[in-house]
Amino acid sequence: MPDSHIAIEELVELMSTRAGIRTDAATAAASTFEDLGVDSLGVMGIVAELERRVGRKLGAEAEAAPSPSALVTVVNEGGPAAERV
């Protein structure tokens, strides 16, 4: 059973491997994806990887998340868009 929660540190790692953007947890928590230089395709790649890790679809809401913190919230609080794979 995959862990259905993520922490901001995981996003820091994924931003590096999936989008080529290096940052730290504090900066990530206080910035938007745009500030960090992560573009829409980068976010899509991160969300696709998160979906595999948490074992469920995160939907359009996750891809539209403007910041790492917002994305963490979408993943951890589920929400109507989240459905079982």
Residue ranges that bind other proteins, judged by CB under 8 A: 16-22, 37-42, 44-45, 48, 51-52, 63
Q: How far is the CB of 45 from other proteins (least distance, A)?
A: 5
Region for residue 57 given its phi and psi (left: phi exceeds 0; alpha: psi -120 to 50; beta: otherwise): beta
Q: For residue 21, give every residue at least 6 positions away whose Cβ sits within 8 Å of its Cβ, in sequence order, or none.
A: 15, 36, 37, 38, 42
Pull the structure tokens for residue 25.
Answer: 């947890």
- Return the number of the residue (16 or 76) whose C-beta is nearest other proteins: 16
Q: How far is the CB of 78 from other proteins (least distance, A)?
A: 20
Q: How far is the CB of 44 from other proteins (least distance, A)?
A: 4
- Return the number of the residue (44 or 70) whose C-beta is nearest other proteins: 44
Separation CA 55–CA 3 (nearest Å):
8
